[in-house]
Amino acid sequence: MSAAATGYRATATMPLLAEVRRQASRRRTQLALGFMALLPVIILLAFEFGGDGDDDNGGGAFASLVDLATSGGLNFALFSIFVSAGFLLVVVVALFCGDTVASEASWGSLRYLLAVPVPRARLLGVKLIVALGYSLLALLTLAGTALLIGTLRYGWHPLGSTVAAEIPAGEGVVRLLAILGYLAVVLLVVAGLAFLLSVLTDAALGAVGGAVLLWILSGILDQITALGSIRDFLPTHYSDAWLGLLSTPMQTDDVVKGAISAVCYATIFWSLAFYRFTRKDITS
Amino acid sequence: MAGSVALVLIAALVGWAALPERHSWTAVDQRLTVLSGPSGTEPIDLDTRLYLPSGDGDVPAVLLGHGFGGSKESVSDDAESLADRGYAVLTWTARGFGRSGGEIHLDSPDYEVKDAQRLLDWLATQPRVRTDADGDPRVGVVGGSYGGALALLLAAQDPRVDAIVPLITWNDLGKAFFPQSANGVTAPGVFKKNWAGLFFGSGSGPLGAGGGPSPLTGGAGEAPVAPVANPACGRFAADVCAAYLKMATTGIPDAATTALLQRSSPAPVLNKIKAPTLLIQGAVDTLFPLSEADANAKGIAATGTPVRVAWFTGGHDGGSGPQTDQDRTKFLTAQWLDHYVKKDGATPATSFTYSRVAGFSALDRGLVTNGYSDPTYPGLTGTGRAEVTVSGDAQQIANPPNGNPGALSSLPGVGGQLSSLLGSVAGDLAGQHAEFDSAPVTDAIEVVGAPTVRLRAASPTGSATLFVKLYDVDPNGTATLSGGLIAPVRLTGLPTDVSAAQPVTVTLPAIVRRIDAGHTVRVTVATSDQAFLTPPDPATYTVAVEPAVSLPTAAGTPIANPQVVWRYVLLGVLAVVVAGLVVVLAVRHRRLRRHEAPTVDEYAETPLVVRGLRKAYGDGFVAVERVDFTVERGQVVGLLGPNGAGKTTTLRVLMGLTMPTEGDALVFGHRLEPGSPVLSRVGALVEGPGFLPHLTGLQNLHAYWQATGRPAADARFDEALEIAGLGDSVHRKTKNYSHGMRQRLAIAQAMLGLPELLVLDEPTDGLDPPQIAEMRRVLKRYATDGRAVLVSSHLLAEVEQTCTHAVVVNKGRIVADGPVDDIVGDSPSVQLEVSDVPAAELVLAGLNVRSVTPEGASGLIVDMNGTPRTEVVASLVRAGVGVDRVVPRRRLEDAFLALVGDNSRGSGDR
């Protein structure tokens, strides 16, 4: 007699699609994705109805991203990404990755999934893949909506930047994708941290908030130049390196270093999460 | 936990960064008195510092000179890095600066250069310094600006020098301060008053104020040894001072001044330089532009001496440049010295390297440059040429009196403000300049070298001072003046009518710039510039520019950026991560394979066997001491015990949520572990329901079943829903459910797929009496088809009425185990209802019973202690006591209390 019930296969439990639907049915998923689509509209309206501002917000050569935002769809998308990259995307990624396990624990449904039984590593793996998928979807939704409405309103023009010559629209799309790709890689750190906290705690808010908090802490430490080369090891240190992709030719040195940093951090966090979750007693 | 990990990491990093550096050298400060001057007998006191690498072998030496206004301190960083490379480095404060004695003679061969010769003598006497011959040290000379010219002049004057690396220095001081960009015009050019003033100022103040943050010119001055004698001259020698005062007044050098400047210039003595020379010059340098290094390179190379030229994005205006440039020039310097001085390493190539601004660094807002290399030095004319046609009519422009207001092109002395210079501080004033624009260029032009334009000018006075500039204008109209560099021309013998003017070729300063496609080239001719001394009298000139503008180009090979190594690191990291993942998965797979084995065949048909189960938590609390029991097919087993007896912990182990400390649980002979496939034959409700609050009851059941990955047909949703009995509420969201509704839905969920073993924790919690009765029937029926049910409860009646078997747990141990009837049948008490309670008590006292307890008005509870019931009744009747009822007490409660005692404290309180 086989060990399992008829029809049960460990590799068939918790199908990806089931988890996708499970998360899609949640209000927070719908709200987060909806906001990602709404934000560019809000920005567009702000540009339409706002008065002319003339303040340099301290971004130096990059402050001009604001001035260029209305020069075309690509620039509008770039601006939308620029203003979201620092905090909003971090929160959204932390939400998707930090909430996924902790919320099941707090509802009590986690123990029933494990008693199905969904193997623990598989449960984490599926949860992680789906959370990352939703994070990526959020990023693409933001960029896609911004590109769409920006193009409809301001037209299809080359990607302008004051740090380099205008980039032809076709190549501009490639640059935009490269920027999104790098942002996605950097946000892996947030995803890793939030996911680890999600495994460690039963409180979803704690996992999401904790990840955002630590990210902010790292950002603050990065502002302290007295820390010298230590700052290179902070997970946020290279988070702005994607701006280098706007120059011609692209400056990829910091991008590469940032990717190394992000991959290392994410690997460590996820390894810890899997190590812990496959060994601990589920007490929720 | 993650927070503490982060804190530990940060603490470790801080500690690592705070560790003291270890030097591989020692430095000794020393005041050396050497004999110098034209006669070679004037003693001069020099403030020196000798860096010696650790160890005791002999080492080659480097003489390291500082920039104007600096001191030995301002080159300490460079000296340390050279000492780290194994050179004895001698730095000194040149005469007239800092704590050294004497006056400033502007790198005069009789003074500063001779001082340096005496230092070479001294180096040769040092025991650690390698010598080529007696009194001839193995030495290279390195220096920037003032120190660079000294290196050139010293190498020309002293054959003992083995190699030199002059940085951002001059070829001809006269041409540097009186630049004349018109070809074929020998008359001195326009006085560069701003830079000259800064130079003079930094040598005349008692504190020798530094010229900015550039390490080549700057550095904190130190108090001079002697007080300043002449306030007008500071520490300048009288002849230098007089020459400056004269040329700054008139703007035209007289013969004596020209001779003095010539004496301080390497230009006339270049043919004497036999030491291999590496010339490093900055492209953002309005003081000593690239043309100075070009002249030096040509002059030295003419005699066959090896020369290499490198340009970087920096200079007296641009500072030390971006990190990539600093790395490159440092590498070139080390390579040059290693080969020609240390005699170590292959012969350096004579290729030409330069860098071009690629953009801003996103992280530190600095500039980023890309390096390029060409196999040979092309000079300022490039390896190719691009012709651009500019248009525009002859225009009239006015010379403002005394050059005020004047146009702005550069900010001498600010230093290091690369980004602002490459942006545009430049501003031309209306009426004072003429513009000649090209059409947008169709292809990007990589300008490397000095562009040339042909200029025609007319002046009512016959002479004109003009400034020619080349702007790169982007499609938005923003004009950028590369490096702030402009070409001053002073023309004489001009006609009054521009149509009669002969075109003069003007060589613009050499630049490195990419003019992108779509940009236009603008040639601007202006009458004034704040950096230069212009004629005091107002005048109106007419200027025209010939259409052809020639731009030298070079197609350098991009230098592999050393940062590229990080790309391989990234690939390596990714490979390691992927490999690690594969290994972990493989190990896990193998372990799972091996793990499927532990089955006990004799229990293959037994739904549940718990053997010697013990669970102790990390904090020492023992939730389950030792539990053994068996659930057979067809049984409904009640797990009975007070709160905290260990029931729930046992059930958690059965669900694979908790690892037992000892013992195990076997389901159909398979040992239970987290994720054991056999769990799929167990349905469970433990510690209350767990549902997704935003889904309806039915959606929750479907979501749960989807997670099992099993065919939907196997779920038997209809049967489960019938058991739940929720009616239409099954379509409401579970967050709106009552406690009982959730409980029923949870039981239905546990029964999905009709698992062979059903484990229910307090199933009747929250149910009303009819539902409880219904649940009893369901459970009894459920166990009939060879399935089994394990129910935990603290409600005794519940277990008594529902279960076939019971396991009584107390304080983590089994206290009774068996069929309910057996456990209950042991009950020794009888309840009597009698007509006369006191009389009955008297009678019973005479019998062999253990206790008699009154209950109610006519009731007595008698613990029979083995006395037959018939005997008790007979005795009572004989004594005349009426017996209304005799009820054997078959209540589990008694059994329960008898087994666990009346101690209501649970194991949690132990």
Over the stretch B569-613, which tens digit does the pLDDT of each residue have?
Answer: 999 999 999 999 999 989 988 877 765 656 788 888 889 999 999
Interface touch A60/B707, C-beta < 8 Å: no
Instruction: Show which of B820, B841, B861 is a domain's final residue.
Output: B820
Inter-chain CB proximity B362 and A229 less than 8 Å = no
How confident is the model over B333-391, as pLDDT tens digits?
A: 999 999 999 888 888 888 899 988 876 666 665 677 888 999 989 989 988 999 999 99
Long-range contacts of B811-814 (CB under 8 A, 24+ apart): B811/B625, B811/B645, B811/B646, B811/B906, B811/B907, B811/B910, B812/B622, B812/B623, B812/B624, B812/B625, B812/B626, B812/B627, B812/B645, B812/B646, B812/B907, B813/B625, B813/B626, B813/B627, B814/B626, B814/B627, B814/B628, B814/B629
Nearest CA in chain B to A282: B657
Closest-CA distance, A212 to chain B, in angstroms, reads: 12
A15, A229, A242 member nearest B709 (Cβ): A15
C-alpha span between A151 and A71 (Å, rounded) = 10
Q: Tell me: the pLDDT tens digits for A82-131? A: 899 889 999 999 999 999 999 999 999 999 999 888 999 999 999 999 99
Best residue of A239, A253, A268, A277 to probe chain B, by most B CBs closer than 10 Å: A253
Residue B120 in any domain: the answer is: yes
Within a domain: B906: no
Q: Is residue B380 part of a domain?
A: no
Best B361, B687, B760 member to test A by mutation, with max A CBs in 10 Å, is: B361
Q: Is the pLDDT of residue B280 over 90?
A: yes
Q: How many CB pairs under 8 A join A and B?
A: 222
Taking only the tens place, the pLDDT of each residue in B107-144 is 999 999 999 999 999 999 988 899 888 889 999 999 98
pLDDT, residue B207, reads 40
Q: Is residue B415 part of a domain?
A: no
Give yes or no: residues B218 and B289 share one domain: yes
Q: Identify whether residues B393 and B338 lie together within a single domain.
A: no
- pLDDT recorded at residue B226: 47
Regarding whether B551 and B613 lie in a shared domain, the answer is no
Q: Would residue B899 count as lying in a domain?
A: no
**A115 contact B CB<8A:** yes
Supply the pLDDT for residue B209.
36
Q: Which stretch, B599-613, B794-808, B879-893, has highest mean pLDDT?
A: B599-613
| Residue B219 confidence class, pLDDT cut points 50, 70, 90 | very low
- B794 and B875 both lie in a single domain: no
Contact between chains at B358 and A281 (C-beta distance less than 8 A): no
Q: Confirm whether B379 is domain-assigned.
A: no
The reply to whether residue B567 touches residue A256, judged by beta carbons under 8 angstroms, is yes
Q: Which pLDDT value is given to residue B799?
A: 81
Question: Which range (B26-35, B265-274, B467-476, B887-896) has the least confidence?
Answer: B887-896
Residues B34-44: pLDDT tens digits? 999 888 888 99
In a shared domain, residues B580 and B527: no
Q: Where are the beta strands (DSSP E) in B530-631?
A: 539-545, 548-553, 557-558, 608-616, 622-631
Mean of per-residue pLDDT scores for chain B? 84
**B711–A7 CB contact, under 8 Å:** yes
Q: The domain that contains B170 carries what CATH number?
A: 3.40.50.1820
CA atoms of B821 and B810, how far apart (whole Å)? 20
B697 close contact with A: CB closer than 8 A: no
> Is B446 in the same domain as B523?
yes
Which tens digit of pLDDT belongs to each residue from A56-69? 444 454 556 677 78
| Per-residue pLDDT at B340 | 93
**B399 shares its domain with B324:** no
| Helical H segments across B445-564, by residue range | none
Q: For residue B676, give how far its alpha carbon lies from the nearest alpha carbon of chain A (Å).
A: 7
Domain shared by B495 and B544, yes or no: yes
| pLDDT (mean) for B73-83 | 91
Listed by number, the residues of chain A in 219-238 with a beta carbon closer than 8 Å to a beta carbon of chain B are: 221, 227-230, 233, 237-238
Q: What is the pLDDT of residue B890?
A: 59
Q: Which chain B residues contact residue A246 at CB under 8 A?
A: 359
Q: Which domain holds residue B449?
A: 386-410+426-558
Query: What is the predicted ipTM?
Result: 0.90
pLDDT digits (tens, 9 = 90+) for B617-635: 888 888 899 999 999 999 9
pLDDT at position B202 is 75
Residue B42 lies in a domain: yes
CB interface of A with B, residues 149-178, below 8 Å: 160, 163-166
State yes or no: pLDDT of B673 exceeds 60. Answer: yes
A112–B370 CB contact, under 8 Å: no
pLDDT digits (tens, 9 = 90+) for B695-737: 999 999 999 999 998 998 888 888 888 888 888 888 999 999 9
Question: How far separated are the first and last CA of chain A, in Å rounded?
Answer: 33
Question: Within this chain, do residues B571 and B512 fall inside the same structural domain, yes or no?
Answer: no
* Element holding B654 (H helix, E strand): helix B647-654
CB < 8 Å to A283, chain B: 657
Contact call for A244 and B686, based on CB within 8 A: no
Residues of A in contact with B688 (CB under 8 A): 108
Claim to verify: residue B749 and residue B668 sit in the same structural domain: yes
Question: Which residues of chain B are within 8 Å of residue A21 when distances are taken between CB atoms?
Answer: 703, 706
Q: Which residue ranges make up each domain of chain A?
A: 13-48+59-277
Nearest-CA distance B724 → chain A (Å): 17
Residue B7 covered by a domain: no
Looking at the structure, tell me whether residues B134 and B229 fall in a common domain: yes
pLDDT at B910: 41
Specify the pLDDT at position B837: 85
Q: How far is B899 from chain A (nearest CA, A)?
A: 30
* Cβ distance of B709 and A115 shorter than 8 Å: no
Please indicate, yes or no, whether residues B368 and B393 belong to a single structural domain of this protein.
no
Contact residues, chain A, for B707 at CB < 8 Å: 13-15, 18, 113, 116, 118
| Domains held by chain B: number | 5
